[in-house]
Structure formats: C-alpha cells, structure tokens
Structure 1
Amino acid sequence: MPSQDQVPAGSPAGTAADGTYLRGRMCDVLDFAVRHIPRLHSYEKHWRGKQDPVVSMNDKIVVEAALLALTCHRVSHAEPRIAAAVHALAEVLLPHARSARNAEMLARLPQSAASIGTSHLLLDRIGYPDARYDALHTAAIAATHPCLPERLPYRYMEQQWLASLAPGGTGSYGVEAPPGSVLYANQTAVEMHPNDVYSLTHAVMFGTDFGRRTVDPRVSTEAVLATLDSCLALQLGNENLDLIGELLFSAAMLRPGTTCAYTRAGWDLLTGVWERFGYLPSPQFSTPEYEELAFGARAAYSFQHTYHTMFVAGILCAVLYDALDTPPRPHAHAAPDDVAADAALALAAREYQLDVLTRQLGQLTAAGGPLTPTAEAATRYLKLQRAALRGVPSRPAPQAR
C-alpha cells in the first residue's frame, strides 16, 4: 500500500486505500464467511466455554455474519462482485437464521426475538423475506414487554435500531441515546473499563444505523471522537485488532470522513497484519494452543478466534467505502508522537505501573505544549494514587509476645 503522504484520490479519510482495495477486502471477508458458516454444526462440538442455553455460539456468529451482510449489501448496488458475495452469504445464513430450533425458541421464549430473531430481520432487510417466519417473529415481539429483560443503555439503543428496521419502522435520526449512556461520559481509556469500550462502540453502531444516520443531537460528536481516539491509543499499545477495528468503524460511522493520527495508526496496524498473514486474529488466538489440538479441532479453533475480527474488518471496509465521496474532516490536531505517548500512558495506568506513569508525564511536562485528554486523565489518576498512598495509615509493628 502507498505511504500516508501518497494517499490516492478517492481514499477514505485517513487511510491509504481506494475503492478497489476496499471492494477486494469486503469480498475476501464475505467469502471467508461463506466458507465457514456451513461448517458451524461440525465446529460446535469443539467450542470452548459454557454455552448459553438460548443464544448459542452458533447463533451469535450467525447474527454477526448477518450484520456483515447488511453493511456490505448497502454498498453493493453498483458493485456486482459485492452483490454476488452478499447473496452467497445470505444463502448459507438462511438455514441457520430461520431454523426449526429458532422458530421453537421464538414461540417458547418470545424475548429471544431480540437476539436470535435479529438474523431473520436483517436478512429480510437485504431482500430475503419469509412471510411465515416473519409472522412468528412479529408475534414474538408483540408478546414481549419492551422493558423486559431490563437492558443497559446501549442494548436499549439496539432495540430501537431493530424496531427502525422492522417493516414500517422510521426514524429522523439513529435512535435516542438514553440518560446514562456511555455516549455522554466524555472519558478516556485511563478511566474506562473494557466493558465500557464495548458499550461505546455498540452505542455508536446502533445510534447511527451503522453510519447511515446522524447520532442523537444531544450527544457531542467531538467528545465521543476524542474518547475513541484515547481508546484507540490503548488498543494500539495492546495490539488488540478486534477492538481497533470496532473503534475505527465507530469513528467512521459517527462522522464520515473523520481522520486524525489515531485513526491512521489504527488503520496501518490492522491492514499491515491483514496483508502479512491473510487473516486477523483475535487477542485470544494462541499458536501453541492451536498446535496442540487434534487436526479435526484446528479449523474450529482457528475460526472461533478469527471470525469476529474478520467480520469487524469487513464492516469497517463497507463503512469506509460508503463514505468514499465524503471530504476529509480532521477532528484533532494530534501527531504520531501524541498517539504513542497516549498508548504508553494508558497502558501504564491499566497495568498500575506508577513509576512508568510518573516518568512519561514528566517527559511530557518538560516538553511543554498542551496535553492530550489522555495525558490530562493520567495526571489526575496519578494524583489520586498519591493522595491514596498518603492517606493509608502505616501498619503497626507486630507486638512481641
């Protein structure tokens, strides 16, 4: 790929990729899904970890593959190759999304319409209707109280988004961001738990209809973009490709054309690994663990620990492709050195390395200039630790017996 100072015309903001590159990558991910979805039933005996009795690992994968199909479908109308790949994926998803088991679950547990019923709804939206199954899905939704089960704010946003996709669903903007949403938090990676980052990326996904609508106008786009930058810096330090992809597509969905040093660094790392290895591993992928497995279990393990990162990358490419004609819109005046410094600070805070944090902040202060939001948060965090240590009473000496 070309260097950042040689970005070709028509590139998505902050990347060195043109439409041809993004089309190729989307088709690669769609083909990856088409190859593996028919094997899910043979893979499931190798899934590790406790399985949810309602939403199995296979159900989760099918819903995520349907999300990939939806985002790629939206940019496929003038692209026969993408359209064909989306069609192939839809065909292999249909038996899973509308299985007899899922129909039984919708009748027995109507609240499952918000989980296993999602794949049916998404396939309907991309042109694969099923009147009988839709009647069952609609009846299940009608039988479920919208407040049950009680949901976190981003899950509440998901329900609004799904309702907007249903026949007759409308919305002048994405969905409402309820009080308590992480979208209002204006925090950095220093203060956030990993679950908060997950909530943030999913709130953006649902709140913008994957970049097709503007977010709730009460949300500060600039503040959320600053939070995404800080989280990107931490994940660049961790080399967590899964979260890097989600943070990148969140920035692109929130404001198409967004570019800065953080998103460029994330894109370069993600595509660099992709081009080198041909796939994108999750943080849980372990080569030694893979090599210890029997031959028949290796394919299931490999798919389990690559599918989500690959699907995320495919969605990212679709969102960037959808915004190819959007003029670049820088939102931060950060330099690559700021990204590296933020990564070091966020990692030091996360690993509670106060000596590293002190040294890094000392170097930034000596250099002068404004501090990034992450550096400011790290400064507050370090002051809190010092105050806490001063407030800890000394341990009394043991008494002689």
Structure 2
Amino acid sequence: MMPSRHEIHHRLQEILHLAAAWITHLDDLLPANRADAKNNWGAPTPDAVEDKVMAESATLLHVAYRAIVADRGVEEGVEDGCASLREALATRARLERERHTSLLRRAPHVVWPLGITHAVLQRFGIMDKQFHELLQGCLNLGWGERVDRPLFRSLEIRWASGVLNGCRPDADDLIAMAPACTLPSLVARREDAYALTHTLFYATDFGAYPLPDCVSTQRVTASLDALLAWQLWEDDLDLVGELLAAAYACALPSRYSDMALTAVWSELNRPVVRGPFAAHIRHRMNSIYDVEVFGSCYHTTLVAGILCATYLAAPPVNSPQNQTPGPDRALVTEEALESLRLVNQPERLSASWVTGIDGVLEPTQTVIACVLDGALASAYRADDLRTVAVLHQRLKRYGVTTATSLAAAVALDFRTRHG
C-alpha cells in the first residue's frame, strides 16, 4: 500500500544523512590519483564527478529545506538530516574553493554546477562574499547561455541564478520555445523523459513556484504519465523517481503517480537505491562505501530523496482516476504477467513494479491502463505491431483512453498507410 508520510519522512532523513556521509568520504569514492585522470570523451575527470555530486547533493538539501519551510508536518529528523548535509557540503566547499575560483575565472561559462552548492549554502547563512561576487559576475556575463546545449540545460543556468538571488527563475522565454509535449512513449528516448523532468524542476524551482501560464498542465500530465508507465516497464528507478518528483513538485493531476510510488516503494526504501545500470552489483547494494556501488547508484539514491522531499512539500492533489468498479483485483497482476509474456519479456517477471503492484489500492482500471501503456511502448519498440494491436484493444476493453493508446492508434494507422 501507499507509504505513509512518516515512512517518507524517515526515508528522506536516511538519504540526507547518507548524502552527508558520501560527501565527507568523497575522496575515498573517487580515483585516488587525480593528476593521472584524463578528461576523455565519456570519462569525466574525478574533479568533474565531484562537482556534479556536490551540486546534486546541494539540490537535495535545497528541496528538503523547502519541505521544512512548507511546514506540512515535516518531522524533526528531516531538519537533523539537513543540518548534517549542510555541514558536509560547507566543509567540502571550503576545501575546493581555490580550485573552483580558478576554474570560474578561466571559464565563466561553467557556472553550473559550481554555483549551485554556494547558492544553496548561502540560504543557510554560510556566505562567501568574494565567491558570490564571482558567481554573479559569471551569470551577468552570460556566456553560460551561449553554449550549444539542450534547452533544459539553459534553464538550469536560469534556475541557479534564481536560487543565488532568492527569486523565481527567469524562464518564461525559454519555456515558450519548448515543445508543447514530449514525443509519445512509443518512440521517446530516455533523454526526452529526462529533459521533461528537468524542465519542470527548473521552471518551478522544484515546485516553489507555479508552472508558467504558457504550459498546458493537461498536456504535460499526459506526457508524464505515458513516460512513467514506460519507465516502470523498463524498471528504471532513476527516471521513475524523477518523473514522480516532477509530478508531485508541480502538483500535476497524474493518473499513475500514487500507484507507481506504491509499486516501487520497496526498492526506493533500500539503503542504496539501484541505479539504471547496476543490475550486476545487486548483491552488494548494502555496501554504501563500495566505489562501484556509489558510482552506479548515488544519483538514483539522491533522486529518491528529492522525490520524498517534493512529496512532503506538495499540496494534496486529486488525481483524475476512474472510480468505476473494476474486475477482480487478482486480474491486475495476471494482466501484468500476460502482457510481459505477450512482448516476450519473461525475465522481467521479477521487476519491482510487478511484485509491488499487488499492494496498490488504486481503481483496477488505472493499474491495468498503466501496465498496458508500458507494454504498448515496449512492443512498439520491438516493432511487434501485432502485439501493439492486441494491447490497444485490451485498453479499449477496459474503457480507458490514454496518451499512449491514442499514439498507438495513430502509429498503427500511419504504418498501415505507408506499408
């Protein structure tokens, strides 16, 4: 069943303390001889990895602190966890100040990720006036926005500037250039889902501000639910966590979010949360200071913390779920297993969402729609149009229309017309 607020509080507290421990022991978790590290394509230097870990940990602290400020019954342990992570980041920032200062003077366009750690610490009264002026100068120079990069990376710079100056991100002009919705989950890339979540995060400062007026909440929610069903099917806890965090942060009326959180909670509640490419180290997942476990799983673990924080800070949302009495609940799991067999993926029968789905208390049609949405995306990607047609008919049988089922109908018609 859906985790209680107390369970989510406790998990956030655990992750805050774990992030603090990782920052404290970062030298042991990165290659020892930094002078020998080469900045090859696809192989960032340990310094770059360190800066990324610090920025993402600072982001967790930023969002967790917002949950405290929102004062929706956040428990005292979360404040203790924030204090622990704040001190670890402050200590590390002092150690790296000279390197960061030198880098920003030479290359002011790399203001992120170096700037966000300082900006977050500043909110806690840990101020470095000279470094602040350097960061502000880098932002004013504007070179960071001249780099050819995805739109959400430009939003990242605007967000960092907003955090630094304690104001809403100046993002409306960039949001206006964004697609109205993402590609259908039938053909979307993992990067498309990542771009959607981060656009929502940065445009709203993780839910501190409402979405810009030019954003269609209905379209964004439909896209997010389609991607969430697909990523549940892929068993990618990293993107599932980000999609859920975006749904809660932006108070989107998601059909699938509570169901998905229930289905994967047992995995998110582990000491270290499995990363998308960490299947080969499952047996070592409790070793929090294992270098390979850290490298493969730290990001997904921090994402789980951000998810917990956005959930706790968010106002309640009434999801538009189908309340029509559904078939016997045992059919839900059977539908999931049959769909897995249809798309020839029996090895996924042990996926976390398949076993976790038994505890879901949502209306049965909603659960089955999510399962079939994911199966549709998987079958289409395998170019198995026969199975796509079968799954599409099953969705129609349960009387639920989704963005993925509509896209599947369009895709099948397109393929028929064009051979």
TM-score by length of 1: 0.82
For residue 398 of structure 1, what is the aligned residue in structure 2?
none
Q: Which residue of 1 aligns with 2:319?
A: 330
- Mean CA deviation greater in 191-200 or 351-360: 351-360
- The answer to whether the 8 Å contact 2:274/2:282 transfers is no
Residue pair 2:392, 2:405 contacting (<8 A) in 1 also: yes
1-structure distance, mates of 2:76, 2:401: 48
Alpha-carbon RMSD: 2.8
What amino acid is the match of 2:401? L
The 1:32–1:54 alpha-carbon spacing in structure 2 relative to 1, beyond 3 Å, is closer
Residues 71 and 315, structure 1, Cα contact 8 Å, conserved in 2? yes
Q: Is the 8 A contact 1:69 1:89 kept in 2?
A: yes
* 114, 128, 142: which one aligns with 1:130: 128
Cα separation, 1, equivalents of 2:212 and 2:173: 6
CA contact (8 A) 2:68 2:79 kept: yes
2:118 to 114, 117, 120: 120
Give 1:280's aligned residue. Answer: 273
Q: Does 1:84 align with 2:76?
A: no
Residue matched to 1:396: none
Q: Is the 8 A contact 2:185 2:404 kept in 1?
A: yes
**Amino acid corresponding to residue 408 of structure 2 in structure 1:** A
* Of 136-145 and 39-48, the range deviating more from structure 2: 39-48
Give me the identity figure in percent: 25
**In 1, Cα distance between the equivalents of 2:407 and 2:297?**
33
Contact 1:290 1:302 in 2 (8 A): no
Q: Which residue number in structure 1 is paired with residue 240 of structure 2?
A: 244
Letter in 2 for 1:265: M
Distance change (3 Å), C-alpha of 1:154 and 1:239: same
State the SS of the aligned residue for 2:290. Answer: helix
Looking at structure 1, the residues matched to 100 and 217 of structure 2 have their Cα atoms a distance apart, in angstroms, of 38
Cα distance in 1 for residues equivalent to 2:190 and 2:261: 21
Residue 215 in 1 paired to residue 211 in 2?
yes
Q: What is the deviation of 1:174?
A: 6.8
| Distance of aligned partners of 1:16 and 1:122 in 2 relative to their CA distance in 1, 3 Å threshold | same
Name 1:11's counterpart in structure 2: none
Aligned twin of 1:63: 55
Contact 1:345 1:357 in 2 (8 A): yes
Aligned position for 1:307: 298
Q: Distance in 2 between matches of 1:317 and 1:200?
A: 19
Shifted more, 373-382 versus 328-337: the winner is 328-337
CA shift at 1:134, angstroms? 1.2
C-alpha offsets along residues 35-89 of structure 1, whole Å, 9 cap, x if unaligned?
Answer: 2112222222189984336971111111000000111112235654222221211
1:190 aligns with 2:200: no
Q: Is the alpha carbon distance of 1:26 and 1:193 closer, same or farther for their aligned partners in structure 2, counting shifts above 3 Å?
A: same
Matches for 1:363-374 after TM superposition, within 5 Å: 363-365=394-396, 367=397, 369-374=399-404
Aligned residues: 363
- Larger radius of gyration, structure 1 or 2? 1
Counterparts of 1:179 and 1:283 in 2: how far apart (Å)? Answer: 32
Quote the Cα distance in structure 2 between the aligned partners of 1:49 and 1:148. Answer: 21
- Amino acid corresponding to residue 22 of structure 1 in structure 2: I
Aligned to 1:318: 309
Note closer, same or farther for the CA distance 1:356–1:32 as it changes in structure 2 (3 Å cut). same
Amino acid of the structure 2 residue aligned with 1:372: T
Q: Counterparts of 2:211 and 2:277 in 1: how far apart (Å)?
A: 32
Cα separation, partners in 2 of 1:274 and 1:193, compared to 1, 3 Å: closer
Stretches of structure 1 that go unaligned for 5 or more consecutive residues are 4-14, 391-401
The separation in 2 between residues aligned to 1:106 and 1:357, in whole angstroms, is 51
TM value normalised by structure 2: 0.78
Contact 2:268 2:304 in 1 (8 A): no
- 2:228–2:243 contact (8 Å) kept in structure 1: yes
Whole-angstrom CA distance in 2 between matches of 1:197 and 1:96: 32
